[in-house]
């Protein structure tokens, strides 16, 4: 026969006319990568005792292979080893095997029975994706890994043993005929896209101990009408149940599941009062609730997810409760009518674009201060928090917001660091206050007598005059002229 063997390694088999039953000679210890690739006429292969490894793509595209005998000396089966062996109907993998590569039996469309060894604890991507109708995973497997049964279109049911602790990324994605799944209480993590596009899946029972359900885990399961989520679940990812009848037909306005997670708000009212037991407002929970004008967040809430209030265009105000420590990415992005936000001292991090596009945001309650009459839409509020915490006013942020904030801090509690900054930047700050017609702040700063001097008064008055000539409030010009007269001497005394 056409065996090419070197030092016990079967390098290549060349098909011979009329030969379909192959007995590999004794002494072979390894079947090399691609050794039988594209041998389309062979139907049976018997490997000898002593064979230890079956290489990558060793039998791939052996489209008429029906039977393979794997001895109990084999310890590894390579990636794509039996890829597209479309006539292979059963295979017994001995307990000696400790490793099975990715896509090892992918596209074996007639494969209905596989006996896996007890020592195999992880089923990798595409290892099997063509078995018929029923899948029973043997006890001992701990991880159903990345795309393990990806788009196995014929499977109807799956039995997951109590040894499994994690269902990985896309493990059963696209198993469009899979109708039921019971996830045992040994499982703690359901990965991203684990059951995406399982279009026939009607129910999912998730037993206790699962703590995390990944992004898009049951996305577009268009027949999924029954879901049981235990209170051990702490995290539910992006769009985990989007496109399911269960979520669409949920009977209440607030979809609260797991450990008091507000998964989705389905109401259409202008005012939403979140129930007191909610701990987590999930990612995108209020996404694009166009009618929402106000929301009451209870003190029980500790976490608000990404895009939680994304594009709630009519939302006008929000008060973040004291237990929240971070405002995440794009939480209020696109809330174009949001005017007032109260952020507690507990918040230390504000994510990227958290308030992006909030063009109406002019009032901010933060660290015991009230900052208003300025625009915060283009200011990273994390920078403001850092500035307030450190009292380092040299930090670079939008100067309009910065001058307003520092002025308010000083006028609120006379903070020495704020006073020192205003003294060093008095001309710039008074110009800013003139431009914003902030008569109240100007009056209070002048009353303190600490910031206007003989060296800067004339330049301040000059700016006030220019402001008046450009249509501004003439009262500002008069205030500064009178101040100069009272403190430094001025012959023309303007009075209102």
Q: Which of 379, 428, 382, 386 is nearest to 407 (CA)?
A: 428
Q: Give the Cα separation of 249 and 222 in Å (integer).
A: 12
Copy the structure tokens of residue 213: 């359900």
Copy the structure tokens of residue 224: 């999924």
Homologous superfamily (CATH) of 121-249 is Ribonuclease Inhibitor (3.80.10.10)
Q: Which residues contact 447 (CB under 8 A, 6 or more apart)?
A: none
In the block, tokens 């996305």 appear at: 219
**Alpha-carbon torsion, ordered 471, 475, 479, 480, to 10 deg:** 10
Q: Note the pLDDT of residue 496.
A: 43
Do 430 and 463 touch, CB atoms closer than 8 A? yes
Do 35 and 57 touch, CB atoms closer than 8 A? no
Q: Note the pLDDT of residue 494.
A: 46
Class of residue 327 by CB neighbours under 10 A (exposed 0-12, middle 13-18, buried 19+): buried
In the block, tokens 């985990």 appear at: 240
Half-sphere exposure of 237 (CA within 13 A, CB side): 18
Do 454 and 477 touch, CB atoms closer than 8 A? no
Q: Which residues contact 485 (CB under 8 A, 6 or more apart)?
A: 491, 492, 493
44: helix, strand or coil: strand
The residue extents of the domains of the chain are 1-117, 121-249, 252-361, 381-488
State phi, psi for 182 to the nearest 5 degrees: -115, 120
Length of the chain: 496
SS (H, E, C) 210-269: CCEECCCCCCCCCCCCEEECCCCCCEECCCCCCCCHHHHCCCCCEEEECCCEEEEECCCC
At the top level of CATH, the class of 1-117 is alpha beta
Per-residue confidence in pLDDT tens, the chain, 496 aa: 689 999 999 999 999 989 999 999 999 999 999 999 999 999 999 999 999 999 999 999 999 999 999 999 999 999 999 999 999 988 888 889 988 888 888 888 787 667 677 666 667 665 665 555 666 677 778 888 888 888 887 788 888 889 999 999 999 999 999 988 888 889 999 999 999 999 999 998 888 899 999 999 999 999 999 999 999 999 999 999 999 999 999 999 999 999 999 999 999 899 999 999 999 999 999 999 999 999 999 999 999 999 999 999 999 999 999 999 989 999 999 999 999 999 999 998 888 889 988 989 888 898 888 888 677 766 778 788 888 888 999 888 888 889 999 999 999 999 999 999 999 999 999 999 999 899 999 999 999 999 999 999 999 999 999 988 888 788 998 999 999 989 987 655 444 4
Longest dimension (CA), the chain: 121
Do 140 and 163 touch, CB atoms closer than 8 A? yes
Do 336 and 363 touch, CB atoms closer than 8 A? no
State phi, psi for 479 to the nearest 5 degrees: -60, -45
Are both 1-117 and 252-361 of the same fold? Answer: yes
Element of type H or E holding 420: helix 416-424
At the top level of CATH, the class of 252-361 is alpha beta
pTM for the predicted model, two decimal places: 0.78
Per-residue DSSP letters for 106-117?
Answer: TT-TT--EEE--
Beta bridge partners of residue 341, listed in sequence order: 318, 364
Q: Note the pLDDT of residue 131.
A: 55
Q: Note the pLDDT of residue 493.
A: 45
């Amino acid at each position: 026969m056409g065996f090419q063997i070197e030092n016990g390694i079967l390098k290549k088999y060349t098909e011979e006319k009329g030969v379909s039953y192959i007995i590999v000679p004794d002494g072979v210890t390894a079947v090399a990568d691609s050794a039988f690739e594209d041998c389309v006429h062979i139907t049976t292969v018997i490997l000898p005792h002593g064979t230890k490894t079956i290489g990558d793509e060793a039998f791939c595209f052996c489209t008429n292979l029906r039977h393979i005998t794997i001895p109990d000396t084999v310890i590894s089966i390579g990636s794509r080893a039996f890829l597209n062996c479309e006539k292979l109907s059963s295979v017994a993998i001995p307990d000696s095997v400790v490793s099975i590569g990715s896509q090892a039996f992918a596209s074996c469309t007639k494969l209905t029975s596989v006996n896996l060894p007890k020592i195999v604890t992880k089923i990798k991507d595409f290892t099997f994706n063509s078995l018929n109708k029923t899948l029973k995973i043997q006890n001992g497997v701990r991880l159903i890994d990345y795309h393990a049964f990806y788009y196995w279109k014929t499977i109807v049911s799956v039995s997951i043993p109590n040894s499994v602790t994690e269902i990985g990324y896309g493990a059963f994605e696209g198993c469009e005929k899979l109708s039921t799944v019971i996830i045992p209480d040994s499982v703690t993590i359901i990965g991203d896209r684990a059951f995406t596009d399982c279009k026939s899946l009607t129910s999912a029972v998730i037993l206790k101990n699962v703590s995390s359900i990944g992004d898009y885990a049951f996305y577009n399961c268009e027949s999924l009408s029954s879901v049981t989520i235990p209170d051990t679940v702490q995290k539910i990812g992006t769009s985990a149940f989007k496109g399911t009848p269960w979520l669409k037909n949920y009977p209440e306005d607030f979809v609260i599941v797991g450990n008091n997670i507000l998964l989705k708000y389905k109401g259409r009212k202008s005012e939403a009062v979140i129930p007191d037991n909610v701990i987590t407002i999930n990612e995108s929970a209020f996404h694009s609730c166009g009618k929402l004008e106000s929301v009451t967040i209870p003190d029980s809430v500790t976490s608000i997810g990404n895009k939680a209030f994304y594009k709630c265009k009519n939302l006008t105000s929000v008060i973040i409760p004291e237990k929240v420590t971070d405002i995440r990415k794009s939480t209020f992005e696109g809330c174009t009518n949001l005017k007032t936000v109260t952020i507690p001292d507990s918040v230390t991090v504000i994510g990227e674009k958290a308030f992006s596009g909030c063009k109406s945001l002019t009032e901010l309650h933060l660290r015991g201060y009230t900052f208003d009459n300025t625009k915060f839409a283009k200011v990273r509020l994390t920078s403001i928090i850092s500035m307030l915490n450190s009292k380092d006013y040299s930090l670079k942020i939008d100067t309009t917001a910065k001058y307003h904030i520092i002025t308010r801090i000083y006028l609120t509690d006379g903070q020495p660091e704020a006073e020192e900054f205003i003294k060093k930047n008095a001309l710039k700050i008074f110009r800013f206050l003139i431009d914003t017609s902030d008569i109240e702040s100007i009056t209070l700063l002048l009353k303190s007598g600490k910031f206007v001097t003989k060296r800067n008064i004339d330049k301040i008055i000059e700016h006030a005059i220019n402001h008046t000539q450009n249509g501004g409030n003439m009262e500002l010009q008069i205030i500064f002229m009178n101040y100069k007269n009272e403190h430094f001497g001025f012959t023309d005394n303007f009075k209102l």
